[in-house]
Structure 1
């Protein structure tokens, strides 16, 4: 027996240690900056996707994919496949044949979501490709069953984290400077208050003590910018994938309701459109939904709403870092390391902090201060086209991974929904006050 034991020990292979830079978060940075570099330096083609249809002169669904765009759409799919196949192969340590086979199917489902989402009457009311991507995925996973071949390509976080790095290129600090203290007053003052109050409410009133990660994810998604904040804060808090998905699902449902209802409420209450635009920008979670809702109040209101949302989006990285520090401190305290609470080690914060946030902030700084304006203008729309594609791929994947029965378990008596509603009501009230103070023209001179 002893000999056999010795042989087994000698044959045992030591575990392969993964390189610290070969992680999903870092690959989101490598892929994001790889694409940005190609776009800037070699005039890389933008993503070709289905066009708008259902409008005068292009009523037919066939206008969504005209013949001249077919090659571009196929090329876009090939580029996306190569980009993510490289990352997945490195992450897994070997070439991923199943990914090579399954990704074209996922891309085809994404195209279907784009075609439906580009139908003008739907898009007017905010039902864009992202919403339809989630619906398509949910129908397949809950009514039928997600095919095994697709499970190998459901790299939701890789798609959305890479998209978030690209999003940094459109979050320009000069937008903040253009509105000065006015935009900061609405976008930055209310946000931390709402996050803190929501989290305290979740722990002391709702008693979500065993769902702290979910609570902070919902709080950040509510106060900052929905899906992007949910991914960043959930990753920093080490929330489960199911918890992040639940937070995203709740956020999307209420985003649609707010996008449709709040412009009507602005008109009903007789609120000045500029104040209303600032209100929408600080409360509605998704940037696209903010623009759509703001457009219902006029061009100036839409500009104010979109800029405030962009300024608010800058907080994604800082909120993620703050959550990482907080949860490391809380974990130390829970482990009986009370004396360490004020001496959180930098290594612990670094380990917990989402690395893709570094790419997000770096892209924002580069496009804001280092690149010539001509380059920013020329490359911005190309970068955005890939960001939108990656987000839509992510939402199809979220739907395909989601099961209503599993999501229902996460709700647990409706506490997450109660948390969202209470937090969003607080957000709505405080943001309306801030919007009036900074954009009514009573206290400050407006820049237009």
Structure 2
């Protein structure tokens, strides 16, 4: 069994707090790292120890692999929890931790690299018998090769960065005439974001939904599906609202998706918490999209509908403990998460967050906190949970209505608009719905 008594948290904000709280429950000591801009952040004060790892820019601090590892070694940590974002899916960071006898809380560097290279991940899933959408056989860098594949697959197609994620380096191409310009723009974006211009193609599904399955896998190879989520509500490929379970999915398809997700994880000898993401196009029609090799932002909705502490499970798996859940638990209720984002930086001059029965709020905000301009815009997550989707939506509407975050501009009004839209209430949306709502197609 792996000796883990002290964990360095290589992150900031609400996820750093979430990990600190899970460590406390398991009697594990914690070390926070912080940039100079986060000197007065909550995670710095709540951890047992804190180490400044650089100046405000992410490159100098939260992406500075050597400084983070040096902080872990200098404080005698046994393990590193990467949270989400930053270095959480960086294979070289996981490898650096491994080389310094630090337990990386997540899968191995080899598995992270395999799933992080999208074309290779797709090929791996095909070999494992996981359904994938029609697409190119591997990646490419030449526009002519891409055009040949697009003609073979048939338009519309989705062009993606092989090293990508977060919506960067992606373009929907509806006809051959648009391909060269779209390719050059997407490849340039991918090169700037990831330092890699390799691209690949998939058949574009016009009205799919984004359904993902949460898995856990221990060091002995025991793998389970904990639950599923509907993450269809997205703006420019960024998730805005998340639901659990995915009530749009019929039970036979749900069971098959869970089996396939477990099969996918087991085929690569996965360890820890991970998410297998699918495009869902109707009963028994779903296709592998990607695997996130980390805890997800939206993990609370699964925790609340499966009675599972996913972060604590990550820590226990890292210690070599076996999974105690032997079969997926049927959802006891329904949960909905809203991501609160800051449109501007600034000081929080007044703050009231919702509370009460059926409400959970994950945040690192406090009155007087200075929201820095250097990092991801998400500043809080509000999660409502209850007996069914209509009830929970009403709870969330009330929670958003009573939330006060003064001193900066946020997306609270936008979230309330989405929560009142008829298509959302009727559950008849797709992954393009928000973009069309916000940026309607031009009239002739």
Name the TM-score class by shorter chain: under 0.3
Query: 1 or 2, which has the higher helix percentage?
Result: 1
| TM-score normalized with structure 1 length | 0.25
Larger Rg: 1
Q: Which has the higher contact order (CA 8 A, sep 6+)?
A: 1
| TM-score normalized with structure 2 length | 0.25
